[in-house]
Structure 1
Amino acid sequence: MAKEFKARRKGTKVTTGEVRLSYAHLLEPKAIEDGQTPKYSVSIIIPKDDKETLRAIKEAIEEAKEAGKGKLGGKIPANLKTPVRDGDEDRPDDEAYANSYFINANSTQKPRVLEFIKFTTDGKVKADPIDSTDDVYSGMYGCVSLNFYAYNTSGNKGIAAGLGNVLKTQDGDRLGGGSSVEDDFDLAEDDGDFEF
């Protein structure tokens, strides 16, 4: 039986199954507006048929609501904002978000970004660190650890998703119009030989 990436939950923390990453700022933080604190961030695109990941997220959000009652004024508001959004409704013109939900997650702390190598015989993941922007980009696939928590800022109340670590599982078509240098120039592997 082939191994696969399965969603897991422990309390308010979720590790997703395989998802697609967009707006990936995982190696260098970025500020949304001038004067704001730069953050590491990503938009996580979850297929609507990934019931396991969606169930884990829903349960973690419910637990975050209960844990955050104090921040929310002692009770859970009926119209509390959550980070889960419907790609078909909120991004109808973006094909990458079709038939998917998405979550925007961020952190001021740099996530560890690893690349999947293989499953070991006991089902664990073997992975290596990645630190190249050629390997970490919008459009790649991966698993992401998230921590859900309540917030109450300037009268806005809700549940947010904190970005944890990222495991790149496979390459995907780049989103946002960029292409790789390998695709542009059909580069050969460097064999170390140099001749005139």
Structure 2
Amino acid sequence: MAHLVTGKVRLSYEHIWEPASINDSDEKYSVSLIIPKSDTKTVKDIQNAVEQAKQDGKAKFGGRIPANLKLPLRDGDIERPDDEAYKDCYFINCNSKDKPQIVDKNVQPILDRNEVYSGCYARVSISLYPFNTNGNKGIACGLGNIQKIADGEPLGGRTRAEDDFEAYDEDDDFLN
């Protein structure tokens, strides 16, 4: 299993506070990491980890690496052409049965669930490992821990309360 920490990535489709079932699978914590193609270090680190996982998986794959192996690093321009958030980016989906630790820039625990959301930026520890389940063979990505490093525009159309409202003053209430 190859373990690494990404550079600055954007979180999408996050289920990091509570596990969720995707397509009737077991409940897991999960997140999609959007990686700018310009972050060549993270992309290269992931590609190297995938290669290591392929070698580690030869025994699971019957002694050789299959040609049709499912790989985790995907091209956003090809697979999500209509989604602006994925333009000029790769993405990788990560999951775990174990809850990730979620910390801030100073490695202090983040307890407010509104602090980390789809659209914010983070560094994420991930592990790449081979799988061979029911004839499906590939390299999967395990979710480790998350370090939020910057806010970003929320994905999925959700707005933040502080952006929607101003402080309320009853004297200004023109509806009375």
- Name the TM-score, length of structure 1 as normaliser: 0.82
Deviation digits for residues 9-43 of structure 1, max 9, x if unmatched? xx711100001010011111111134x32110000
User: In the alignment, which of 123, 136, 142 is matched to residue 143 of structure 1?
Assistant: 123
Q: Which residue of 2 aligns with 1:59?
A: 48
User: In the alignment, which of 145, 148, 151 is matched to residue 168 of structure 1?
Assistant: 148
- The Cα of 1:78 is off from its aligned counterpart by 2.0
| Alignment pair present for 1:94 and 2:83 | yes
| Alignment pair present for 1:45 and 2:34 | yes
Deviation digits for residues 68-122 of structure 1, max 9, x if unmatched? 1111111111231110110000000000000000000000100001011xxxxxx
Aligned length: 168
Distance 1:187 1:92 in 2: 40
Distance 1:135 1:187 in 2: 20
| Alignment pair present for 1:27 and 2:17 | yes
Q: Which residue of 2 aligns with 1:105?
A: 94
Contact 1:27 1:131 in 2 (8 A): no
**Partner SS state of residue 52, structure 1:** helix
User: In the alignment, which of 154, 157, 165 is matched to residue 177 of structure 1?
Assistant: 157
Distance 1:17 1:134 in 2: 22
Point out 4+ residue stretches in structure 1 off by more than 6 angstroms. Answer: none
**Code of the aligned partner of 1:23:** Y
- The Cα of 1:132 is off from its aligned counterpart by 2.1
User: In the alignment, which of 2, 8, 12 is matched to residue 12 of structure 1?
Assistant: 2
User: Where does the alignment leave 5 or more consecutive residues of structure 1 unmatched?
Assistant: 1-10, 117-125, 189-196
Q: Percent of counterpart pairs with the same letter?
A: 54
Distance 1:85 1:187 in 2: 44
**Partner SS state of residue 162, structure 2:** helix
User: In the alignment, which of 137, 143, 150 is matched to residue 157 of structure 1?
Assistant: 137
Distance 2:23 2:127 in 1: 24
**Partner SS state of residue 127, structure 1:** coil
User: Where does the alignment leave 5 or more consecutive residues of structure 2 unmatched?
Assistant: 169-176
**Partner SS state of residue 159, structure 1:** strand
- The Cα of 1:187 is off from its aligned counterpart by 4.9
| Alignment pair present for 1:71 and 2:51 | no
- The Cα of 1:131 is off from its aligned counterpart by 2.4
